[in-house]
Amino acid sequence: MIELIPAIDIIGGRCVRLSQGDYERQTTYDAEPADMVKRFADCGVKRVHVVDLDGAKAAQPENLPTLEKMAGIDGVNIEWGGGLKTETAVRQVFDAGAAYAIVGSVAAKQPDLFTTWLNAFGAERMVLGADVREGKVSVSGWQEDLNFGIEALIDTFQPHGLRQVICTDISRDGMLQGPSFDLYTQLQAAYPDIDFTVSGGISSMDDIRRLNSLNLRKVIIGKAIYEGRISLKEIETYIITQ
């Protein structure tokens, strides 16, 4: 069964969502992050995806007290990304209670450094965050497109134990138009030993059921929850019945 991973993006300690990563297209929701984690946990969710958008801008973690509160909720593991540019930053998020650290730009631009972290912290805790636009990897808050694709990144790190990859299709993120089914099925088929997480575009439970039928393993659900297109009851029912 595909694992459902609700998403929480944080600015100033509050839940927000961006459209295609644009800070100027921001919606703030009336929900405390820790309260949302508790609601997800009550539905049977085991992992929550969190991005520290302040940290991404500042190039260092900025919402660690919020992380500590979220990580204190029983039964849920937090995967945390945003601003993880140094080993000190990675240690800070683990010390604050994160179960997994998501690294994107550093992995793409400083592969030797990410390789060091894979070895130091373990591939079971380090997650490669690969954002793609028209087949190319994009970094620095989606402001810079590199001249290689996600496969090149995976090929670099797989020999060092890489096992977890979150791939976000930027063109679909926050648009509620459905994910890039072909992209993820091709990646999962090419790298069967890696757990890929689908990210971007989930609009309904029908999308999730289709991903599950394609034998994909994990999916992040963000805006669809906050916009009421997928209810917490639907998530709970799906988890219970599978």
3-state SS, 202-220, equals CCCHHHHHHHHHCCCCEEE
CA distance 156 to 162: 9
Find, among 213, 181, 210, 186, the residue nearest to 198 by Cα: 181
Catalytic residue among 9, 169, 173, 207: 9
Helices (H), the chain: 33-42, 53-58, 64-71, 87-95, 105-109, 111-121, 150-157, 181-190, 205-213, 223-226, 232-241
* Cα dihedral across residues 64, 57, 157, 1: positive or negative: positive
Distance linking the first and last C-alpha atoms of the chain: 7
Element (H, E) at 100: strand 100-103
Strand-pair partners of 19 = 22
* Cα dihedral across residues 8, 9, 12, 16: positive or negative: negative
Look up residue 105 and give its two tokens. 């730009």
In the residue annotation, 9 being an active-site residue is answered as yes
Catalytic residue among 52, 131, 173, 207: 131
Look up residue 153 and give its two tokens. 């990144």
Just list the catalytic residues.
9, 131
